[in-house]
């Protein structure tokens, strides 16, 4: 069976996911496209999915009889209504992060899915599918002993002026928020945010870099540097310190060169390249589950937990270094 997918939002990542479904992955094809900017959807159709039908609105695409499953890759603030509409239609839906821009919005999706009675939602937390993070989790479980500390960094080369201080959390830290819950099999109890002086390449509406300190239920302390104008490259770092030793996320493969009396190797500059393999695996996983009318991988509950934590981190950004408590209600049985 070929799963027929409709894509809502054909910007950077909607285009890239359409490319992988059409050219890389097995078992699915893109049959419908929609974007508020119709020219963007037309361009993706022309370049990648000539047989896809264009829809004026995401709601029409979700309701279309030829669409078996939905990809939501539009701007974060639009995700909630599309995911709710897909769940109401009983169609599996892959939603890019964030699941919703508020915890209440994510909670509404959890409630709708629980009422539906089976999983339909997968959230685009692709780091869980990254071979480096999978190896790191294995090292933590098998070798380092119980984790005590995590030191991490999330660096982007540059961001546009539209990227403002809270986006460092919703847009960027959200990947660490999810992947450390998964890596440590733990939940958060508090968040703090500290700022050094602003980097010269930042702008008036962005505090950059920032350091977020998360504390978990098991007592692990996690420090994450977010630096989105670091200039030199796209760089994701993580080291876990355990009772018996430490484990570090591997660097992406790069040729080690000796040139002009220097040792050097390339650093990536684009998230699309850094996580290219994990986007492929997460979407192949989505296709396999959606073909059976269900969903797997990072769940609406994970999206909700990330949204609760993001909200607390944004509050901590405004709380001059004070800790903000993080509390989750009981996890519904659907997500056990
Ligand atoms: P983008 O701005 O390049 O593309 C978004 C597209 O959505 C635009 O074409 C826009 O016209 C369209 N759009 C906006 N509102 C819409 C609506 N209501 N209905 C239909 N289309 C709508 O943004 P980008 O970078 O592709 O990000 C999209 C989503 O993907 C975001 O949620 C972002 O957080 C997520 N993302 C995830 C990444 C990851 O590593 N997992 C990486 C980059 C983005
Ligand atoms: P983008 O701005 O390039 O694309 C967004 C697209 O959504 C645009 O084409 C826009 O016209 C369209 N759009 C906006 N509102 C819409 C609506 N209501 N209905 C339909 N389309 C609408 O952004 P992007 O970088 O592709 O990011 C899109 C999403 O992907 C965001 O949620 C972002 O957080 C996420 N993202 C995830 C990763 C990741 O690593 N997982 C990386 C980048 C982006
Ligand atoms: C972007 O939306 C992503 O999801 C990338 O993975 C992240 O590194 C970047 O900071 C975000 O803006």
Please say whether the beta carbons of 216 and 222 come within 8 A. yes
Q: Which residues pair with 223 in a beta bridge?
A: 151, 213
For residue 212, the number of C-alpha atoms closer than 13 Å in the C-beta half-sphere is: 34
* Surface-to-core class of residue 106, CB atoms within 10 Å of its CB (0-12 exposed, 13-18 middle, 19+ buried): buried
Lookup: tokens for 333: 């049985």
The strand pair at 221-227 and 93-95 is best described as: unpaired
Kindly state if the Cβ of 75 falls inside 6 Å of ligand 1: yes
Percent of the chain with pLDDT over 90: 99
Question: What is the atom index within ligand 3 of the atom nearest the CA of 275?
Answer: 6
Distance 163 CA to ligand 2 centre (A): 14
Q: Which backbone phi and psi does 303 adopt, to 5 degrees?
A: -65, -40
Distance of alpha carbon 325 from its chain centroid, rounded? 23
Question: What is the atom index within ligand 3 of the atom nearest the CA of 97?
Answer: 4
For residue 198, the surrounding DSSP H or E stretch is: none
pTM over 0.95: no
Kindly state if the Cβ of 175 falls inside 6 Å of ligand 3: yes
- 171, 224, 275, 298: residue to mutate for ligand 3 pocket, most atoms within 8 A of CB: 171
Distance 260 CA to ligand 3 centre (A): 35
Please say whether the beta carbons of 141 and 185 come within 8 A. no
Please say whether the beta carbons of 179 and 133 come within 8 A. yes
Q: Which backbone phi and psi does 115 adopt, to 5 degrees?
A: -65, -35
What is the rounded end-to-end Cα distance, in angstroms, of the chain?
30
Kindly state if the Cβ of 8 falls inside 6 Å of ligand 1: yes
Please say whether the beta carbons of 79 and 98 come within 8 A. yes
Please say whether the beta carbons of 201 and 229 come within 8 A. yes
Question: Cα angle vertex 182, ends 181, 188, to 5°?
Answer: 10
ipTM: 0.82
Which of 3, 14, 64, 68 lies closest to 41, judged by CA?
14
pLDDT in tens, the chain (336 residues): 899 999 999 999 999 999 999 999 999 999 999 999 999 999 999 999 999 999 999 999 999 999 999 999 999 999 999 999 999 999 999 999 999 999 999 999 999 999 999 999 999 999 999 999 999 999 999 999 999 999 999 999 999 999 999 999 999 999 999 999 999 999 999 999 999 999 999 999 999 999 999 999 999 999 999 999 999 999 999 999 999 999 999 999 999 999 999 999 999 999 999 999 999 999 999 999 999 999 999 999 999 999 999 999 999 999 989 999 999 999 999 999
pLDDT 10s digits, 59-86 = 999 999 999 999 999 999 999 999 999 9
pLDDT of amino acid 90: 98
Could you give the C-alpha distances from 85 to 58, 266, 273, in angstroms and in order? Answer: 9, 44, 32
Q: Which backbone phi and psi does 165 adopt, to 5 degrees?
A: -50, -50
Nearest C-alpha to atom 32 of ligand 2 is from which residue? 76
Bond preceding residue 323 cis, omega within 30 of 0: no
- Walk me through the domains of the chain, giving residue ranges and CATH numbers: 3-126+277-299 (3.40.50.720), 128-269+307-335 (3.30.360.10)
């Amino acid at each position: 069976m070929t799963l027929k997918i409709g894509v809502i939002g054909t910007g950077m990542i909607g285009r890239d996911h359409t490319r992988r479904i059409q050219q890389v992955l097995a078992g699915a094809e893109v049959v419908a496209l929609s974007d508020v900017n119709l020219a963007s959807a037309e361009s993706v159709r022309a370049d990648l999915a000539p047989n896809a039908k264009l829809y004026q609105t995401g709601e029409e695409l979700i309701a279309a009889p030829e669409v078996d499953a939905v990809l939501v890759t539009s701007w974060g603030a639009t995700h909630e209504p599309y995911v709710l509409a897909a769940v109401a239609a009983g169609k599996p839906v892959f939603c890019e992060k964030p699941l919703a821009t508020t915890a209440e919005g994510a909670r509404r999706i959890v409630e709708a899915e629980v009422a539906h009675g089976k999983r339909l939602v997968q959230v685009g937390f692709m780091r869980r599918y990254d071979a480096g993070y999978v190896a790191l989790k294995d090292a933590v479980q098998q070798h380092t002993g119980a984790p005590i500390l995590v030191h991490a960094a999330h660096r982007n080369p540059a961001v546009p002026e539209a990227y403002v201080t809270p986006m460092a959390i919703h847009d960027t830290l959200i990947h660490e928020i999810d992947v450390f819950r998964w890596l440590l099999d733990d939940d958060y109890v508090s968040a703090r945010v500290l700022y050094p002086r602003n980097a010269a390449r930042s702008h008036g509406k962005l505090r950059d870099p920032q350091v977020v300190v998360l504390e978990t239920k098991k007592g692990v302390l996690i420090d994450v540097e977010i630096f989105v104008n670091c200039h030199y490259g796209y760089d994701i770092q993580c080291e876990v310190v355990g009772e018996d030793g430490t484990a570090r996320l591997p660097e992406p493969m790069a040729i080690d060169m000796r040139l002009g009396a220097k040792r050097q190797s390339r650093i990536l500059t684009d998230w699309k390249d850094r996580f290219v393999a994990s986007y492929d695996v997460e979407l192949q996983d989505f296709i396999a589950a959606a073909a059976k009318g269900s969903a797997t991988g990072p769940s609406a509950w994970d999206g909700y937990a990330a949204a609760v934590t993001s909200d607390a981190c944004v509050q901590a950004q405004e709380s001059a270094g004070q800790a903000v408590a993080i509390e989750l209600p009981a996890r519904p049985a659907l997500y056990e």
